[in-house]
């Protein structure tokens, strides 16, 4: 059975979109093969706000492939996580905060193999988040101390810096220098399409990619092995390249335009959603047959 895998920001949603009517209509309508998988660099909290309208399952591959969920209306089910970074990598970044000019990172992690959370990486705030997740007495004891560096975190998926856009190049360089020393990590850098003048510098496992999350869902028997895909940026390349059919907006990045099966005349966002509603079936009927 064929399914839909799609990026969100810059593809189905643009910063200039005043509302979500086109996105809602597309995802709730009949144009897209089911199930729908939203493969995004966003954390779950952002996606939950956008897709809370759905009463049918929408699968989520969040944080560029790090974690997988099933969302049905207000119900969210954590399905699993993929690549990890270890706690030592996080400590090196936190310790390098002042010497390398890096801000305190945000952390995306998992505990006991069944829960995830996204929170600021200040040690006291780490402890506060962990207390909410587990009744483990040790975490409560840590919170009573000034120094809480030895948290027993099971696995870190990624950590990110949210920065002003004019500082992103410098922070990207500094982060890549440190990531090279760590080994096993890569640095992603991209603007935030929701808040003008800001961006992200994200440190992830070197093998992390959206297709890793799709593969996880496939191995779990949730998805088939054939899909159509939409995307607009470098972190969509593998997902688009492995698709049976790919369609991208007209303002996608040059490398994305080169590999797409079809380039829409509409730019990303509401206009792309509306174009898909009208033209998608005719474009992919050879794949669906």
- Tell me, yes or no, if the two domains 2-80+209-288 and 87-205 fold the same way: no
- Provide the pLDDT for residue 22: 93
Task: Give the model's pLDDT for residue 182.
Answer: 75
| Nearest Cα to Cα of residue 67 among 48, 50, 54, 49 | 48
User: Looking at the DSSP assignment, which residues form a beta bridge with residue 205?
Assistant: 185
∠ CA 223-67-80, rounded to 5°:
65
pLDDT score at 146:
43
**Would you kindly state where each structural domain of the chain is located, as residue ranges?**
2-80+209-288, 87-205
The pLDDT score that the predictor gives to residue 97 is: 59
**Residue 148's pLDDT is what?**
46
- CA 184/CA 187 separation, integer angstroms: 11
Is domain 2-80+209-288 given the CATH code 3.40.50.1000 in the classification? yes
Q: What is the pTM of this model?
A: 0.75
Nearest in space to 79 (alpha carbons), one of 115, 33, 42 = 115
Assigned CATH topology for domain 87-205:
3.30.1240
Walking along the chain (289 residues) 10 residues at a time, the average pLDDT comes out as: 93 87 89 93 74 77 84 79 70 66 67 55 60 52 47 64 82 84 80 73 83 91 93 94 96 95 96 95 82
- Looking up tokens 């591959």 gives 61
**pLDDT at position 149, please?**
46
């Amino acid at each position: 059975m064929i399914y839909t895998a799609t990026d969100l920001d810059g593809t189905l949603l643009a910063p200039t979109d005043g509302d979500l009517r086109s996105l809602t209509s597309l995802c709730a309508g009949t144009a897209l093969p089911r199930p729908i998988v939203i493969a995004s660099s966003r954390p779950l909290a952002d996606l939950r706000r956008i897709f809370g309208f759905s009463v049918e399952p929408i699968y989520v591959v969040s944080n560029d492939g790090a974690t997988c969920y099933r969302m049905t209306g207000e119900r969210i089910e954590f399905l699993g996580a993929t690549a990890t970074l270890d706690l030592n990598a996080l400590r090196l970044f936190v310790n390098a905060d002042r010497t390398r000019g890096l801000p305190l990172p945000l952390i995306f992690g998992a505990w006991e193999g069944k829960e995830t959370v996204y929170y600021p990486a200040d040690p006291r705030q780490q402890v506060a988040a962990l207390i909410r997740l587990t009744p483990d007495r040790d975490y409560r004891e840590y919170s009573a101390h000034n120094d809480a560096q030895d948290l027993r975190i099971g696995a870190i998926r990624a950590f990110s810096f949210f920065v002003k856009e004019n500082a992103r190049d410098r922070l990207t360089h500094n982060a890549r220098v440190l990531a090279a020393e760590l080994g096993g990590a890569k640095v992603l850098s991209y603007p935030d399409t929701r808040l003008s003048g800001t961006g992200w510098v994200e440190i992830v496992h070197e093998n992390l990619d959206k297709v890793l999350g799709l593969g996880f869902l496939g191995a779990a028997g949730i998805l088939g092995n054939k899909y159509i895909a939409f995307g607009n940026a470098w972190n969509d390349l593998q997902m688009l390249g492995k698709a049976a059919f790919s369609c991208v907006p007209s303002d996608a990045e040059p490398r994305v335009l080169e590999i797409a099966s079809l380039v829409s005349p509409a730019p990303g966002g509401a206009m792309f959603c509306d174009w898909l509603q009208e033209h998608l079936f005719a474009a992919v009927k050879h794949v669906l047959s």
